[in-house]
A and B are shown apart, each in its own frame.
Chain A
Amino acid sequence: MSCSRRNFLTGAGAVIVTTGVAGTAVVSGKSLAYTMEDGQKRYGMVYDETSCIGCTACMDACREVNNVPEGVARLEITRSEAKGEFPNVDYQFNRVSCQHCENAPCVYVCPTGASYKDPETGIVDVHSDKCVGCGYCLAACPYQVRFFHPETKSADKCNFCRDTNLAAGKLPACVESCPTKALTFGDLNDPSSDINKVLATKPVYRDKVHLGTKPKLYKVPHEKGEVKS
């Protein structure tokens, strides 16, 4: 193999220059995609499948409070097939909305940093002015809860009402609107919060935990049938 010393050194330099810049940036510095656990809030939510009646009042409340246009949704409640015979027919409901992952794939992949995790609250949100609309976060989210807002053209999703209800000192719209109190919202870092009380007293699961996303939307499983996470 004829490779002069000059060529070898130049080539090695080229490799280092090309890959080293990115590599150092990744290795050094605490990426905001990781959890800030010291003294900051980590907001999470529990969705109780045993209490949910599938009325979809939460969907309407979310749409109204956050001005979500028709055709897209930040929050959806899905209904299973009917199980059993009349009059003992059982339905199971499921909430589909942002899980506010601690290891959020959407934050990792966003090229401009528009998708970010708010270090003070642990809420995953979007800087819509920085978003260029490449769609990488839509593809990267394994829960498939992101969409393009028809008006702002920016990527959008549930943000726990960070700029609407939370900013006004209220609970998220879905939590407030639920007639059966199936939703519990609170700070996971606060041992005395409502959410921690629920997590300590009921069996819970989270979706797709094996992916390592560390989601913060917990679910109390339906009392019948297999738990599919």
Chain B
Amino acid sequence: MSTWQAAFQFDSLVWDWIIAVYLFLAGMSAGAVMIAIYLKRKVIEGDPAENGIMKAMAWLAPFGIVVGLLILIFHLTKPLSFWKIMIYYNPTSVMSMGVILFQAYLVVLFVWIGIIFRKTIMRFLSGRFDFVDGWLKTFGRFENAIELTLGVMAVVLAAYTGFLLSALKTYPMLNNPVLPILFLFSSLSSGAAACLLFGIIGFKESPTSPSVGWVHKFERPVVLFELFVLVTFFTGLIFSGGQSEASAWFALTGEFWSSWFWWGVVIFGMLTPLALNAFSPKALRHSPLFIVVVTSLSLLGVLMLRTFVLYAGQMTVV
């Protein structure tokens, strides 16, 4: 078996790369929502529906969550039974509680986007389904409560993906209290990168606008803190000894996954965007190509982080 094959196919593997993609999409959606809520409340002046970042989020957040869930449904061994997971629940199961959260999050997200983009939506519908306007106006009266609820739910959702994996006693690298925090911060960084990429390139938001400026400023401490959380994560594992320590050393120094981690996740996914954002000349910083490169590196880095955690985590069994 080649190294590549051995890294992706092994006996103790249960959840494969499809789950990694879902983790990435769910995290990106939650991160984009958290950033958009802050922008709307504190940074944007005027109609948020005009803001490129908000428009980007309006597509990214639902897309991320819906596609993520669709991927999950088709990953089930009994995809046609997926509805059972929506009506049966188990309060001790992180996944069950997550599914309830997802369902509520989807509803609140769509309502919130509907409230913000009511005029745009009505223009798109051009005369049909007039009752939607009435509904959105009614919901609009509770905009503040909806926004804050959505914000809390987005935070919980971002951390949920970490809690889901950390409930697995089988894999000492995943069975870790730091994992939810790591996933929360990587959600924020992927949400920020996605918002910037689609907001500036897709929705023509000016790179010098206050929103973009704020997201840039926000990104740096997030990525720095994410690096710190990574250090905490692995240090904690090593200090735990036994299989936990073995799993950490394997992930950091073993064949294949260590290269994936150091080159893909850390160097190209975190340090390079940080450096490019900090040290590039001002003129370059606002060029579209530069923005595409830097945000794509960030996004790829987060996807690689999720894949790394999932695969390297499942390689060592307690």
Name A's B-contacting residues (CB within 8 A). Answer: 6-7, 10-11, 13-15, 17-19, 21-22, 25-26, 31, 33, 105, 107-114, 130-136, 138-142, 144, 148, 153-154, 208, 211, 213
In the complex with contacts A22-B91, A26-B91, A109-B167, A7-B144 CB distance below 8 A: yes
Question: Interface readout for B84-101 with A: 1 if CB under 8 Å, 0 if not?
Answer: 110011111111110111
**What chain A residues lie within 8 Å of B15 (beta carbons)?**
135, 139
B101 x A18 contact (CB < 8 A): yes
Expressed in whole angstroms, the minimum distance between the Cβ of A31 and any Cβ of chain B is 6
Expressed in whole angstroms, the minimum distance between the Cβ of B120 and any Cβ of chain A is 26
17 residue pairs from A and B, CB less than 8 Å apart? A7-B148, A10-B144, A10-B149, A11-B151, A14-B151, A14-B153, A33-B92, A108-B93, A109-B168, A111-B88, A114-B88, A131-B78, A133-B77, A135-B77, A138-B14, A140-B168, A154-B78
B318 x A142 contact (CB < 8 A): yes
Residues in B292-318 with C-beta less than 8 Å from chain A = 314, 317-318
A14 x B97 contact (CB < 8 A): no
Question: Interface readout for B32-52 with A: 1 if CB under 8 Å, 0 if not?
Answer: 000000000000000000000
A14 x B93 contact (CB < 8 A): no
Specify which of B72, B91, B95 is in contact with A25 (CB 8 Å cutoff).
B91
Specify which of A10, A21, A153, A208 is in contact with B318 (CB 8 Å cutoff).
A208
Residues in B144-160 with C-beta less than 8 Å from chain A = 144-145, 148-149, 151-153, 156
**What chain A residues lie within 8 Å of B149 (beta carbons)?**
10, 14, 17-18
**What chain A residues lie within 8 Å of B96 (beta carbons)?**
110-112
B168 x A111 contact (CB < 8 A): no
* Contact size range, B: 35 or more
In the complex with contacts A132-B78, A135-B14, A136-B95, A111-B153 CB distance below 8 A: no
New contact pairs (10) apart from A112-B89, A133-B79, A138-B14, CB-CB < 8 Å: A10-B148, A15-B152, A17-B149, A26-B92, A105-B169, A111-B85, A131-B78, A139-B170, A140-B167, A140-B170
> Chain B residue with minimal CB distance to A150?
B77
A10 x B14 contact (CB < 8 A): no
- A26, A114, A139: most-surrounded residue (chain B CB, <10 A): A139
In the complex with contacts A19-B156, A22-B91, A211-B318, A139-B85 CB distance below 8 A: no
The answer for the CA separation of A134 and B164 in the assembled complex, in Å, is: 12
**What chain A residues lie within 8 Å of B148 (beta carbons)?**
7, 10-11, 14
A132 x B317 contact (CB < 8 A): no
> Chain B residue with minimal CB distance to A134?
B76
A112 x B145 contact (CB < 8 A): no
A110 x B93 contact (CB < 8 A): yes
